[in-house]
Amino acid sequence: MTKKEKQTKEQAILLAAEQEFMTKGYDGARTTSIAEAAGVTHAMLHYYFRTKEQLFERILNEKMALMASSFMAVLGDPNLPLLKRIEQGIVNHFDCLMRNPELPRFIINEVIAHPERQKIMRENILNLTGPLFAQLQNDLDSAAKRGEVEHMDVRMLMLDLLSLNVLPFLAYPVIDNIFSDLTGDRRAFFEARKAESVETIMRRLKKPQTI
């Protein structure tokens, strides 16, 4: 067997593991199912990755990086005017979620199941985004002083935004049961939600015009 074919097998395991872990979580995933889906004996899985735990860490790290990049996306282009920038951030972030709809649920569940992983996450995300959030807070304050927007804590704004963007993905199967007619066309539903996120955040930020 050539080197290329070896890499293919290892890759196949990683791919199958990603699928299994993302949909069933660590506890629900079975190493035998992963091996079977990858088309290899389950001994191979242990040969390449030692333990279920270590294989999982590979996937988790990958997804943590994705999570971090989604937090970067939300910040938008700092050269744009503030409101345009935030609108762009919302759209970027939402599009990122459309490409990775099960990402939030996976991260949340696994961080809660193993709180010791919170440290990894803090390092992965906070260090990258912390200074950028601070920068955005400055820009917000300036715009507020000029009367362009309401004065707001950037963290509260981010939470509003993340809530509106993330929950439809997190709770899709539940929403689908309650508002089935609304979600029938999945693509259209998410496009509508994206627009609604923008609208709601813009209204949260814009100063009401007084007479």
The counts of H helices and E strands in the chain are 11, 0
Selected range binding DNA among 3-11, 83-91, 158-166, 196-204, rule: CB under 7 A: 3-11
Would you call 18 exposed, middle or buried from its count of C-beta atoms within 10 A (0-12, 13-18, 19+)?
middle
CA dist., res. 98 & res. 104, Å (int): 11
Tokens 């069933």 sit at which residue? 24
From candidates 46, 52, 58, 204, binder to its own copies by CB under 8 A? 204
Which option in DNA, its own copies, none does residue 162 bind, with CB closer than 5 to 8 A by kind?
Answer: its own copies
Q: How far apart are the first and last CA of the chain?
A: 78
Which option in its own copies, DNA, none does residue 203 bind, with CB closer than 5 to 8 A by kind?
Answer: its own copies
- Site membership for its own copies, residue 65 (CB under 8 A): no
Judged by beta carbon, residue 57 or residue 139, the one nearer DNA is 57
CB atoms within 10 A of CB 177: 10
- Site membership for DNA, residue 105 (CB under 7 A): no
Q: How many CA atoms lie within 13 A of 106 on its CB side?
A: 25
In the region spanning residues 6 to 65, those forming contacts with DNA, defined by CB under 7 A, are: 6, 9, 29-32, 40-44, 46-47, 50-53
Tell me the closest approach of the beta carbon of residue 189 to its own copies, in angstroms: 10
Question: Where does this chain bind DNA (CB under 7 A)?
Answer: 1-3, 5-6, 9, 29-32, 40-44, 46-47, 50-53
